[in-house]
Amino acid sequence: MNKKRLLILGGGTAGWMTALLMAKRLGENIDIILVESPDIPVIGVGEGTTPYIKQFFKQLDIREQDWMRECQATYKCGIRFPDWSTKIGYQSYFHPFFSPLDKQVGEAFFHNVNCRRAGIDVNANPSHYFVTSYLGERGLSPHCYQALPFELDYAYHFDAALLGNYLRKIAVEIGIIHRQANIISVGHQVNGNIEALITDSGDKLTADLFIDCSGFRALLLAEELNVPLHSYADSLLNNAAVAIQVDHQQSSCLDTLLPTETRSSALSNGWMWNIPLNQRWGNGYVYSRDYISANSAEQELRVALAIDDSVDARHLSMQVGRRTRHWQNNVIAVGLSQGFVEPLEATALMLVQYTIEHACAVIEKSDSQNLQDIADGEKRTFNDIINAMFDGVRDYILVHYLTNSRDDTKYWRDNRHGLMIPDTVRHLLEVWQSDADIEQELGGYFKTSMYSKASWYCLLAGMGVFPELVDDNKRSSHSIAPLEPVIAYNQNCMQHFRPQREIIG
């Protein structure tokens, strides 16, 4: 049988994840070549993930201790959101990753949230209810001193550039061909398929299937095949970011404890991320240029970090949205070339991984023996699924902005009142505020969302999205779950977890 040829255009984390997963899934009957320009820097700012990435390393038999050491990685138990809400008791909340340890206290959380939705005065901030909230701010890892019969769900922080280099090394070792070249032209077949990429040295690189990992430019999918962008700009206002890396000793405002959580703090016209790595902090300010200048955003970030102008800053533009199709002809877009949703919930690599895995599943199940001849119906289904995933992430992030209660700038007021709200999101919020059966509503919404019931509860409760309190007569008819045993349970649990520094050094 003749081997099929797959060409990946672009490196970085997305390109090398694609190369390794496709090599693993599609087996020995495919040759993979990855071509990247030596002159185009990798964006490499994203330094957080969701727990989904653990499946990636598991599929490839990459040991956690090996890659973490090489990539300055740390553990991530969830995300903390300070200053998005001004409501008393909800000025900060924690979005955890869930585990069997949370089953009992989780039920108390859901019960009390629904009591608060009914107007009953009870503390429903998720920060109090989940053990990972206690681990995260204290710098405790998700690993116990003694083995548990189950594993806590967790994710990672890492240096994105180092991870890309690490994956490239593994890919080359298993036989994936790595070429450095600039593409100067693209050849097409009569049917519109891509035939070959022409390099600046005159080489003609042919393939059966092309994977576009060329970043926001989307050289193959957008420039060559004219697949348009479906913009999210009417729902998500942010369009720029400034990033600053800080050594552990450079800022008096950053913990030396090395917390096992990402912090996403609201600022005047956007939000700031703080991501702890083994030897430094990754920080940045995601904002809208329509409300604040790049220079003012940089200075606000420096003030928040308590650092002066001697530390370099990097400015980035963001193209927020998704392509209307991710698989067109014999091109599949992966990563920034297929779309981008701001990194508030660290979903970028999750969407990369999901796209690759689903593309592999389509290829594996296809009746076609030719990668160029995958049926149009299979591509349409694939595109619908990936679009729904992107839109679901967009919706979840949008709700952070819709439910903010800040009134200090026009930016935050416009985020409450000036956005395009999808009907599904509008209806979800109406049901939440009405004391109706939110679980039934979320059950239907799960079909197009990557977020669970618990995540939606944490977001809406964490932001303090509740009606006014009712009178004492109605309050007496509800039995609330006491908070004190929940706190005691979590404080006892956290005694059994190892400090992160003991594990990563």
- Residues belonging to the active site: 76
**CA angle centred on 62, ends 60 and 63, rounded to 5°:** 150
Residue 473 in tokens: 């007569």
How does strand 270-276 pair with strand 262-267? antiparallel
What is the SS3 string spanning 243-276? EEEEECCCCCCCCCCCCCCEEEEEECCEEEEEEE
The response to whether 215 counts as a known ligand-binding position is no
Closest CA to 493 of 160, 148, 212, 208: 148
The answer to whether the beta carbons of residues 118 and 470 sit under 8 Å apart is: yes
Ligand-binding annotation for 12, yes or no, is yes
Residues 146, 90 contacting (CB under 8 angstroms): no
CA end-to-end distance (rounded Å), the chain: 49
Phi-psi category of 10—alpha, beta or left, where left has phi over 0 and alpha has psi -120 to 50? left
R_g of the chain computed on alpha carbons: 23
Does 136 belong to an annotated binding site? no
Is 163 labelled as part of a ligand binding site?
Answer: no
Among 154, 258, 212, 173, CA closest to 36: 212
> What's the CA gap between 494 and 142, in Å, rounded?
9
* Helix H or strand E encompassing 32: strand 30-36
**140 SS3 class:** strand
Residue 33 · residue 196 · CB < 8 Å? no
Query: Residue 209: which H helix or E strand, with range?
Result: strand 209-212
Give CA–CA dist 238/316, Å, rounded. 11
Cα–Cα distance measured from residue 381 to residue 453, given in angstroms and rounded to the nearest whole number: 26
Among 75, 45, 70, 72, residue whose Cα is nearest residue 167: 70
CA distances (Å), origin 118, targets 113, 122, 216, 305, 467: 9, 10, 45, 40, 8
As a whole number of angstroms, the distance between CA 261 and CA 78 comes to: 5
User: Measured between alpha carbons, how far is 201 from 38 in angstroms, rounded to an integer?
Assistant: 13
Give the angle 394-397-402 at the CA atoms, nearest 5°: 110
Determine if residue 14 is labeled as part of a ligand binding site: yes
Closest by CA position to 331, among listed 209, 471, 418: 209
Binding-site members for L-tryptophan are 345
- Binding site for FAD, residues? 11-14, 336
Binding residues for 7-chloro-L-tryptophan: 76
